[in-house]
Structure 1
Amino acid sequence: MSELYRLLPSVDLILQRISESGRHAHLPRPLLKDLVNVHLGQLRADIRSGKLTASEELRWPALEGPLHAFLDRTSRPHFRRVINATGVVVHTNLGRSLLARQAVQAVTEACAHYSNLEFSLDTGQRGSRYTHVEELLCRLTGAEAGLVVNNNAAAVLLMLDTLAKGREVVVSRGQLVEIGGSFRIPDVMARSGAVLREVGATNRTHLHDYERAITPETAALLKVHASNYRIIGFHKEVSLREMVALGDQHGLPVLDDLGSGNFFDFTPYGLGHEPTVQEAVAAGAAVVTFSGDKVLGGPQAGIIVGRRAYIEPIKKNPMNRALRIDKMTLAALEATLRLYLDPELARREIPTLRMITATPDELRRRANKLARSLRRTLGQSAKVVLLPGSSRVGGGAYPEQDLPTTLVGIHPIVHALGVETVRDRLLDVDPPLVGRIEHDAFCLDPRTLSDAEHALAAQVLASVLHP
């Protein structure tokens, strides 16, 4: 055993050999040195356990391949690309919406060069970052003014802190929801300093419930989108227009948190009606908040639009600086909003809209194309079949509605691999491939798997299935 230990090359010698090979030149030397030490530690453990007994296995020619494979695997960034074949379009855990090509180009430009982020090209003096998107937001929504912060939770917090701190906000008990990541509307309201005044029952709230709750301490009426929570059956809630009429009678603003807000009407594509931002503004909401990175298909952002009398104080809130967006978000958002000036262009160019509106016939054709690619690459290692299935919008939108699709199912044949094993192994390849198990098969949904990713998905699957 001591002889085997002496045969292990030194760290410096291994680093020299790696340098001579030209591989891993992109890695910082301290990181490379740490990883080499970890690998050597594993080899020493194998010697101690008796797993490694042959001296030939410790000479450089034998060590080189496994070492490079170890470095390839362990030096990968923690945050990296994933192939989404789940069929969930706005997948919260996989990065939510993909940006349009135009938005990606805008982000690259903003990162690579100086910009007029807070510089007025008209006056040569300091400007405001909000001017780059405020006019677009107003044009698209019909609002008088707008601003953007880093996410919708921040938007709600800032809105309430500005307009209702220390006073009461009336909200339906059935809308006090908790969404992903233990985010609860009551907690955000409490942090803002607003006093929560619950009305109605969990399943039914009437207009008179709001009216009875109004006191001299009331600052606003609040309507909250239920996100991925739904009550069915014996249920009633007050419409935004009814709340606005009541608010007008008492001189109170109505604040509307749309959550995953959108500018696009999806009803022609088989989805139920969801209120758009334009509809909320037209209904008279004083302030509307919504996300930029869900159904809207842009970057992570919390967008606030509404009447100027309410938006201007929100802009001046000192907390706004702590919640503001950076130049990359701003660039991506402006590029995304510009596409919405032409709804059909937006549908074609914004990946989220394009995936949601894909037709069953289109998805069937794409599934056939994907299956052919997989059969060519996987050969006899798996049986590839087409299966009926459904996709989801995700991101808290349309939780109860399925989108019809055609799944591509993979039944592994080699080594009697189970589909669960295949699923788990696909998370440890580069890039990881995330699908789902249905019909006793590992399934890929072409709705979220682009045609350009077919060859890569086949290659990744082959690396797991081939003996």
Structure 2
Amino acid sequence: MSADIRPPRAVQLPAVHRVLSDAACQPLIAQYGREQTTATLRALLAELRACSLGAASATEDPADASIAAVTARLADRLERANRSALRPVFNLTGTVLHTNLGRALLPDSAVQAVAEALRWPMNLEWDIDTGKRGDRDNLVEELLRELTGAEAATVVNNNAAAVLLLLNTLAMGREVIVSRGELVEIGGAFRIPDIMTRAGATLREVGSTNRTHLADYGNAIAANTALLMKVHCSNYAITGFTKAVELPDLAPLARRNNIPLAVDLGSGTLVDLEQYGLPHETTVRETIAAGADLVTFSGDKLLGGPQCGIIAGRADLIAAIKRNPLKRALRVGKLTLAALEPVLALYRAPDLLPERLTTLRLLTRPAAAMRALAATLQPLLQQALGEAYSVATEPILSQIGSGALPVDQLPSHGLAIRAARQTHGDPLGTLEKRLRSLPRPVIGRIASDTLWLDLRCLEDAQLELFAAQLKDLVPA
């Protein structure tokens, strides 16, 4: 509040004990505790007092200093202070597996399993049949073997950890041969060469950026070679005059030289996505059948489960990896395993996956469903925004996200919001901020002088909640 309209004299503020003893304050004490409520109240009254005296640093306007008004401000301040930093949002960016928004949404069966794991002790490392200590990997290993064709498997906290652990176990102090065209960098500055260094391995680059031949690998093999490695280029594509050595050709070379062949799939999938009308992505089973000794992949991307990294392959190599002391530092807890097991179990019924696996349901939604949703929401959003903006329903292209199938896009539909007239400032940026400030933040994207709200990830069950908070967009 500016100094020229502040009260000219100090406002009579209620005493702390009077506010705390008031009936309206009792629910706050019950919810937030007396100590926190009292401390917050003292700070609030101090700011009100400073404002009434005209202090330049004051942030509160004490025009109404009644107990009821102070208690209302106290309730608001306590609520904001105790609001969770991790909040649910509406993902209308058009990126289904959005890394910054948590990637895959878990299916109901996984959510229920995690809730049970939160409430009860679980047999995380306890073999109920023998009554002795067990191995937490055993909870999901049989399923992973069944779904991938691997001899064994282990789980760590993400795919970067899986690659680090694999390299540190099998190649510390030795060389790993990788094609130059596969030295990828993904989000967060994760680079294969950097992981090699941290793992204690030496990178041996072969070929060129766009073309690598089988002879390049063969000529690079030496006594110090520990591993041949292929990295799936899941977050970019090289086109034109290119050549890469495929696994069926590289695997015999690895066998002849008795060198393990590892593949980092990144966003690995367990089923052929083409049967659901999506672009083909190499499956883990195909990779192992083609000759890979070890495969690493994520649990929270195309697989549709919790964040984790999975290593599957030869039993002797998995056993060596599990003996590495780093495995304990990178292992997952009971909540991750509780979520992963039911997600893996869904893959036993691939015909039911599109309705039961949330990620696949979102990826396969027909554009007509989003178009109908856009037609419903367009007049509601237009009314909320008024004449300052125009809201239209338009076709949009969604993307899978998290590095999966980067050049493939999915036909979608959504709302295109544009400034209705030329104004000073940044009207779209202002609206984007207002959307983020809603009780459940709405996250869209700005491109081509348009604020786009892609409706692929807004399902019918969420429509009422989304529409109800549009009233908060109406200008005062």
Same fold (TM over 0.5): yes
In structure 1, C-alpha distance between the alignment counterparts of 2:155 and 2:316, rounded to whole Å: 17
Q: 2:254 aligns with which of 213, 226, 247?
A: 247
C-alpha distance in 2 between matches for 1:52 and 1:277? 58
Paired residue type of 1:397: A
Identity between Structure 1 and Structure 2 (%): 47
The answer on 1:71 being equivalent to 2:66 is no
Q: Deviations over 1:293-346 (max 9, x none)?
A: 111110010101001121111122221111111000001000100001111222
SS across alignment from 1:61: helix
Hey, what's the Cα distance between the residues in 2 that align with 1:216 and 1:191?
22
List, as ranges, runs of 4+ consecutive aligned residues in structure 1 with deviation greater than 6 Å.
50-55, 375-382
* Counterpart residue number, 1:425: 434
> For each residue in 1:80-107, what CA deviation from the matched residue of structure 2 results, as whole angstroms up to 9, or x when unmatched?
2112121211110011110000000000
Are 1:234 and 2:241 counterparts? yes
C-alpha distance in 2 between matches for 1:395 and 1:432: 21
Query: Among residues 98, 120, 125, which one is paired with 2:132 in the alignment?
Result: 125
Alignment match, 2:401: 394
TM-score (normalised: structure 1): 0.91
What TM-score do the two structures reach when normalised by structure 2?
0.89
1:51-450 equivalence runs, <5 A: 56-269=63-276, 271-371=278-378, 374=381, 384-410=391-417, 418-438=427-447, 440-450=449-459
Tell me which moved more, 355-364 or 156-165.
Answer: 355-364
Q: Which among 22, 34, 41 is matched to residue 36 of structure 1?
A: 41
Shift of 1:139: 0.3
Tell me the distance in 2 between the aligned counterparts of 1:309 and 1:392.
38
Q: Please state if 1:8 is matched with 2:13.
A: yes
Determine the C-alpha separation between the residues in 2 that align with 1:52 and 1:145. 61
Q: Distance in 2 between matches of 1:159 and 1:315?
A: 10
- SS of residue paired to 1:401: strand
Match of 1:27 among 32, 36, 41: 32
Q: CA deviation at 1:55?
A: 6.7
In 1, are the aligned partners of 2:95 and 2:401 still within 8 Å (CA)? yes
- Please give the per-residue CA displacement for 1:324-383, whole angstroms capped at 9, x wherever unaligned: 110000010001000011112222111111111112223323333444665687788975
Shift of 1:239: 1.0
Give the conservation status (yes or no) of the 8 Å contact 1:7–1:55: no
Matched, 1:465 2:474: yes
Cα contact 1:81–1:432 (8 A) shared by 2: yes
State whether residues 28 and 37 of structure 2, in contact with CA within 8 Å, keep that contact through their aligned partners in structure 1. Answer: no
Summarize the Cα distance change of 1:381–1:224 in structure 2 as closer, same or farther, 3 Å threshold.
same
In structure 2, do the counterparts of structure 1 residues 54 and 375 end up closer, same or farther at CA, with 3 Å as the change threshold? closer
> Per the alignment, in what secondary structure is the counterpart of residue 22 of structure 1?
helix
Quote how far apart the aligned CAs of 1:466 are.
4.4
Which consecutive residues of structure 2, in runs of 5 or more, have no partner in the other structure?
1-5
Distance 1:394 1:151, change over 3 A: same
Task: Give the secondary structure class of the aligned counterpart of 2:233.
Answer: coil
Matched-pair contact (CA < 8 Å) for 2:374–2:393: yes
Separation (CA, whole Å) in 2 of partners of 1:246 and 1:289? 21
| 8 A contact 1:56–1:62 mirrored in 2 | no
8 A Cα contact 2:24 2:68, kept in partner: no
| 2:471 counterpart letter in structure 1 | A
The 3 A distance-change label for structure 1 pair 18 and 98 is farther
Moved more, 32-41 or 168-177: 32-41
Counting matched residue pairs gives: 466
Separation in 2, partners of 1:134, 1:112 = 24
How has the CA–CA distance of structure 1 residues 185 and 18 changed in structure 2, closer, same or farther, with 3 Å as cutoff? farther
Coordinate RMSD, CA, aligned = 2.8
CA contact (8 A) 1:4 1:58 kept: no
User: How many angstroms does 1:432 deviate by?
Assistant: 1.3
State the alpha-carbon separation in 2 of the partners of residues 248 and 288 from structure 1: 16
Whether 1:456 aligns to 2:461 is no
Distance 1:166 1:53 in 2: 62
Task: Name the SS for the 1:226 alignment partner.
Answer: coil
Whole-Å separation in 2 of the counterparts to 1:329 and 1:255: 25
How far apart are the structure 2 equivalents of 1:144 and 1:402? 35
Partners of 2:168 and 2:467 in 1: how far apart? 51
Q: Please tell me the residue identity of whatever aligns with 2:31.
A: H
Cα gap change, 1:59/1:413 in structure 2, threshold over 3 Å: closer, same or farther? farther
Q: Deviations over 1:186-208 (max 9, x none)?
A: 11111111111111112222211
| Pair 391,34 (structure 1): closer, same or farther in 2 beyond 3 Å | farther
